[in-house]
Structure 1
Amino acid sequence: MRLDEADPKGLVRESYRIEGITLGECRSIFVDWALSLPVDAPMKDAVRVLIAEYALGAPGHPMSQVLEDGLKTPDAPKRRGGRAARVGGV
């Protein structure tokens, strides 16, 4: 994945440029960033690209912590529809 695909609006890039940004503000930016990704984009791959581009050079930045935490989130559950969802089918 390319950097322009991983951060299409440049939200994460800009967060690293904000002087005195807080952890809470970085979390908010991260949510906005995640919502800006295409639905089918692999989020963890995008986070890895962002870590390689920005976080490795700024390990003490609050956004670096948020990105690392983003890798720890579980994958989204797969949707199960129909009868299998209601009765726990195979």
Structure 2
Amino acid sequence: MMGEGADDPKGLIREAYRIEGISPAECRSIFLDWALSVEDARAAIPRLLQGRPEHPMTDVLREGLAEVPQGRRGGRAARLKA
């Protein structure tokens, strides 16, 4: 299956947009598989978003650009820092 070059080598994102009635959970699963297949997902996301319609995959791609919140570390590492 041909994708969209280096940004979507397996064509996962392209195919997600073709699936009618796809759920956000299914899009997240596809996104994870896609992210593991590209070298720099954060750099590719803005290019993949260009010209995309409103769709659950569009929302998931936007979420992929959000900063990861820095929470507390759990377990032994958190106890030793105190």
**Unmatched runs of 5 consecutive residues or more in structure 2:** 69-82
Distance 1:50 1:65 in 2: 12
Partner of 2:78: none
Counting only pairs closer than 5 Å after superposition, residues 21-60 of structure 1 correspond to structure 2 as: 21-37=22-38, 41-52=39-50, 56-59=51-54
Distance 1:73 1:65 in 2: 15
Partner of 1:65: 59
The one-letter amino acid paired with 1:57 is R
Aligned residue pairs: how many?
Answer: 65
Name the structure, 1 or 2, with higher relative contact order (CA <8 Å, separation 6+).
1
Percent of aligned pairs with the same amino acid: 51
- Deviations for 1:13-72, whole angstroms, at most 9, x for unmatched residues? 0000001000000000000001111xxx222111111111xxx3312x100000000001
**Unmatched runs of 5 consecutive residues or more in structure 1:** 75-90
Say what the alpha-carbon RMSD is for the aligned residues.
1.2
